[in-house]
């Protein structure tokens, strides 16, 4: 079998033209990701998972490198790092029991600052806060991702919470119907949708209207930051709210649009095979007035 044909077989199974096209699209779109991050993203989209539910990322990375050797695509330069989606150690709390209680109104805190994390110390702090205080915990995200720390302007480095934005769900019927997507259009334009996959207000922060204020500030910086890092202009942000824990009031107050509920298959299920996830409410936020039109026509 020739090199090109061999590259189009993954673990003994022929790769379809559509799967290969999706792979090329992921690699071309997310130039800022490492090879392992690209491999994990491809596995999630194509359903290449182990029995444990983990992606076959290492095998997929080798397959991507075979595709590159065959001239089918061009990968980023190799770099070392922790595989995405893997469990990771959570730093011990630097302030066991929490910091000093923060109360009042959002206006009392001065302008809320939503700062993108770009250094190792910031990533470590983000992991600590999410790992100890978010009900879903911390896991290395799949695909494209931006992390933010939320700060007040009242005191030096007074932390209020964290935000994580990452790659959008592959298939989401209420969202796709609202936009007007068919399968081919969704595949072509999905990179312009971003998911707000973590939102944490620290448990000792009890400030009225703070959550909706943070969301508004975040929407003001996200598009430029995402374009700077990934070279893609995001047009829509989505998120999922666990009805057993939250009502989504802050998203409604920040003018997000409620679209319905997930089916319980998991946000990256492409083949409609993954069951057992709790249904969640779906909210979206257009970053431009013409976002829906551009997502259909782009």
| pLDDT band at 67; cut points 50, 70, 90 | very high
* Mean pLDDT taken over the chain: 85
Q: Are residues 57 and 112 in the same domain?
A: no
Q: In which band, very low, low, confident or very high, does the pLDDT at 257 lie, cut at 50, 70 and 90?
A: very high
Residue 99 has pLDDT above 90, yes or no: no
pLDDT number for residue 82: 53
More confident residue, 134 or 221: 221
Burial class (CB in 10 A: 0-12, 13-18, 19+), 294: middle
Give the position of tokens 């976002």.
291
In a domain, 171, yes or no: yes
Query: Tokens for 172?
Result: 């989401």
- Position 8 in a domain: yes
One domain for residues 39 and 110: no
Q: Does 214 lie in the same domain as 151?
A: yes
Which runs of E-coded beta strand occur in the chain? 9-10, 13-14, 102-105, 113-116, 145-151, 159-167, 193-201, 205-208, 236-241, 257-261, 281-286
Residue 1 has pLDDT above 50, yes or no: no
Q: What percent of the chain has pLDDT over 70?
A: 85
Q: Give the model's pLDDT for residue 28.
A: 86
Calculate what percentage of the chain has a pLDDT beyond 90. 43
96 in a structural domain: no
Is the pLDDT at 125 greater than 70? The verdict is: yes
Are 167 and 249 contained in the same domain?
Answer: yes
Q: Residues 118, 170: one domain? A: yes
Residues 46 and 110 reside in one and the same domain: no
The verdict on residue 76 lying in a domain is no
In a domain? residue 120: yes
- 263 lies in a domain? yes
Query: In this structure, what token pair is assigned to residue 135?
Result: 């009900």
Q: For 266-292, how does the pLDDT look when each residue is reduced to its tens digit (9 = 90+)?
A: 544 444 444 446 789 999 999 999 999
Boundary of a domain, candidates 52, 69, 86: 69
| Mean pLDDT of all residues in 140-151 | 84
Do 37 and 154 belong together in one domain? no
pLDDT at residue 3 in the model: 53
Does 25 map to a domain? yes
**How many domains is the chain partitioned into structurally?**
2
Structural domain range at position 17: 3-69
Judged against a pLDDT cut of 60, whether residue 178 lies above it is answered with yes
Q: Say which CATH number the domain at 228 has.
A: 3.40.630.30
Full DSSP string of 82-127: PPTT---PPPPPSSTT-SS-EEEEGGGG-S-EEEE--SHHHHHHHH
Residues 272 and 137 in one domain: yes
Q: Is residue 204 part of a domain?
A: yes
pLDDT-derived band at 224 (thresholds 50, 70, 90) equals: very high
- For the residues 95-120, what does the mean pLDDT come to? 84
Tokens found for residue 157:
């480095």
């Amino acid at each position: 079998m020739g090199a090109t044909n061999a590259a189009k077989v993954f673990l003994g199974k022929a790769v379809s033209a559509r799967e290969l096209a999706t792979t090329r699209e992921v690699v071309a779109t997310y130039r800022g990701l490492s090879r392992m991050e690209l491999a994990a993203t491809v596995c999630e989209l194509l359903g290449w998972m182990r029995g444990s539910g983990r992606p076959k990322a290492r095998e997929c990375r080798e397959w991507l490198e075979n595709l590159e050797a065959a001239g089918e695509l061009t990968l980023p330069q190799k770099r070392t790092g922790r595989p995405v989606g893997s469990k990771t150690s959570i730093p011990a709390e630097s302030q066991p029991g929490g910091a000093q209680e923060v109360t009042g109104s959002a206006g009392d805190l001065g302008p809320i600052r939503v700062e993108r994390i770009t250094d190792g110390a910031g990533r470590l702090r983000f992991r600590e806060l999410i790992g100890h205080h978010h009900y879903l915990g911390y896991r290395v995200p799949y695909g494209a991702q931006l992390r933010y720390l939320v700060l007040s302007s009242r005191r030096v480095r007074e932390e209020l919470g964290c935000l994580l934005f990452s790659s959008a769900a592959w298939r989401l019927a209420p969202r796709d119907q609202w936009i007007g997507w068919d399968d081919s259009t969704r595949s072509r334009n999905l990179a312009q949708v971003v998911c707000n996959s973590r939102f944490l207000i620290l448990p000792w922060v009890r400030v009225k209207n703070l959550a909706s204020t943070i969301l508004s500030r975040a929407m003001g910086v996200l598009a430029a930051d995402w374009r700077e890092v990934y070279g893609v202009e995001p047009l829509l942000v989505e998120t999922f709210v666990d009805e057993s824990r939250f009502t989504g009031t802050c998203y409604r107050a920040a003018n997000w649009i409620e679209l319905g509920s997930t089916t319980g298959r998991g946000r990256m299920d492409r083949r409609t095979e993954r069951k057992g996830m709790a249904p969640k409410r779906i909210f979206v936020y257009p970053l431009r007035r013409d976002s829906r039109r551009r997502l259909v026509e782009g």
